[in-house]
Amino acid sequence: MKKISLLTKIIFHISNIGLIVLYIYPGSIMGWLIYGDFQKQPQVTSDFIVSLNHLYAFMILSLLGIICYIDEKIKILFLYLFFISIVLELCHAIIPKRSFEYSDLFGNFLGVFLIFILFNLYKFLKSINE
């Protein structure tokens, strides 16, 4: 179990660093890898009020964090995830070739918030069954 836990923590931290790099790079690394164009941003699904790419990214990062730290300081994890979801998007206001967008900010925040709600629902249902 410790090996699985260590592996998931490594995956979480690498994903976290990868997300930060993708966010602060002035251009689209994913666009360059997929299309050969730093100006083009790949779209997983079309947006609906919030940026779904950002929603998916922060949901996955939040899930990985919960899997890694479920028995540890989960409140600190969620505070960190909420903080980084806001700060990274705010950085787009000053990074060249990037732009701050409210739909991206709400997508980031909603991705963390949905996982936070599901986690608390899981804890509540688990406490009822005990």
pLDDT tens over the chain, length 130 residues = 566 678 888 999 999 998 898 888 776 666 666 767 666 666 666 667 788 888 999 999 999 999 888 877 888 999 999 999 999 999 888 888 788 889 889 999 999 999 999 999 998 998 888 7
The label of the residue with tokens 């899997």 reads: 67
All residues at 6 or more sequence positions from 48 whose CB lies less than 8 Å from its CB, including other chains: none
Residue-level pLDDT at 39: 65
Gap between the Cα atoms of 8 and 11, Å rounded = 5
Gap between the Cα atoms of 69 and 76, Å rounded = 10
Residue-level pLDDT at 72: 75
Spell out where 1-105 has E strands: none
Gap between the Cα atoms of 91 and 130, Å rounded = 44
Gap between the Cα atoms of 37 and 28, Å rounded = 8
Gap between the Cα atoms of 79 and 26, Å rounded = 26
Q: ∠ at Cα 87 (77, 16), nearest 5°? A: 50
Confidence (pTM) = 0.83
Domain of residue 10, residue span: 2-129
Gap between the Cα atoms of 101 and 116, Å rounded = 23
What's the number of domains the chain is made of? Answer: 1
What distance, in Å, lies between the first and last C-alpha atoms of the chain? 23
